[in-house]
Structure 1
Amino acid sequence: MEALVPAFVAALLAQIGDRSPWLVAILADRYGKPFTIALAALFAHAAGNAIAGAGGALIAPMLTPNAKQLLIALALIFAASGALWRLKAPDRLERWRLGSWLTAFLGIFILALGDTTQFFTFAFAARGPSPWTAVVGATVAAFAVNLIAALMGEASWRRLPLHRIRVGVGVLALGGGAVLGVSALQLI
């Protein structure tokens, strides 16, 4: 259970300024089905996080404790670099004719594949004795943010101070990643 809360908090902060909630808000407005879109996003994130968790569990026995800490530091630095870049608008998927659920599921799965949340899931799964708690924590956090975005809609979601949130998360993640990385390399 030691990976549940850190994965939840890291994924929550990473998802707030990410493109997947923005796409969820776009699709919720288009289809007028915020709960359907949020549920599809839940399954998309669950699938991606399960892949990341399985990868983390696979490499965990090969890593030393310092290597596991360094992996988390790299995930934080990766999150910081993503948060400090300008956020590009997601593809609106206007040409997709798959229906609300399948469009949302596939669109979010493809958009989120290999994103910051999954890197956190991978790192926390590799660190802890029960990697699936990292999957659950990150997935629940992603669902919470996406549900809020779906209920708010695109216009309201875009009015949030997302740039300030992203910069704050980026600075926090960069500092945490630097401290953990230096400690993992035994430089302090």
Structure 2
Amino acid sequence: MEAAVPAFIAALLTQIGDRSPWLTAILADRYGRPFTVAFAALLAHGAGNAVAATGGMLIAPILTPNAKQLLLALALMFAAMGALWRLKAPDRLEGWRLGAFLTPLLGIFILALGDTTQFFTLAFAVRAPSPWFALGGACAAILIVNLAAALMGELSWRQLPIRGFRIGFGLLTLIAGVISGAAALRVI
């Protein structure tokens, strides 16, 4: 259970500044079905995070406690680099004519493949006795953020102070990643 809360917080903060809620808002506006689009986004993210949790379960027995902490430090530093990098608009998937469920399911799965949320899920899954709690916490946060984006729509979502949030989140995770990495390497 101790993996659910940190995975929830990390996924929530990561998703707020990510491109997938933005794409969710775009597709919810296009199709006029925010709950369907948000559910498809949840399934898309859930599939990628399930792979990460499974990977965490498989590699956890071979990692030392310091290696597990170093993996978390890397996840934090990669999150910082992603947050401090300029947010590029997602492809609007205008040529996709798969409907209100399949378009967001496939589009968001492709967009989110290998994203920071999955790296956090992996890092928390290796540290927990049950990696599925990390998956559950991440998916709950993903649902909240993407449902909010779908209900708000693109115009309202774009009016949020995402840039300032990303900078603050990036600096915070950079500091946390450096401290965690230094502790894992026994520098401090």
Aligned counterpart, 1:91: 91
| Residue in 1 that maps onto 2:80 | 80
Task: Measure, in 2, the Cα distance between the counterparts of 1:143 and 1:20.
Answer: 11
Aligned to 1:3: 3
Question: 1:187 & 1:135 partners in 2: Cα distance?
Answer: 31
TM-score, with structure 1 as normaliser: 0.99
Q: Equivalents in 1 of 2:152, 2:58: separation in Å?
A: 38
Q: Note the C-alpha offset of 1:172.
A: 0.7
CA distance in 1 between counterparts of 2:129 and 2:61 reads 10
Unaligned runs of at least 5 residues, structure 1: none
Relative to the length of structure 2, the TM-score reads 0.99
1:176 is aligned with what amino acid?
A
Runs of 4+ in 1 over 3 A off after TM superposition: none
In the TM superposition, 1:49-88 aligns within 5 A as: 49-88=49-88
Q: CA RMSD in A?
A: 0.5
Q: Which amino acid aligns with 2:15?
A: Q
Taking the aligned partners of 2:132 and 2:120, their CA distance within structure 1 comes to: 13
> Which amino acid in 2 is paired with 1:16?
I
Give aligned-pair identity as a percent: 72
Whole-Å separation in 1 of the counterparts to 2:131 and 2:120:
12
Structure 2: which 5+ residue stretches go unaligned? none
For residues 74 and 101 of structure 2, what CA distance do their matches in structure 1 show?
Answer: 34
1:183 maps to what in 2? 183
In the aligned structure 2, how far is the partner of 1:26 from the partner of 1:92?
7
**What is the CA–CA distance in structure 2 between the aligned matches of 1:72 and 1:54, rounded to whole Å?**
16
In the alignment, what sits opposite 1:12? Answer: 12
Query: What is the one-letter code of the residue matched to 1:179?
Result: I
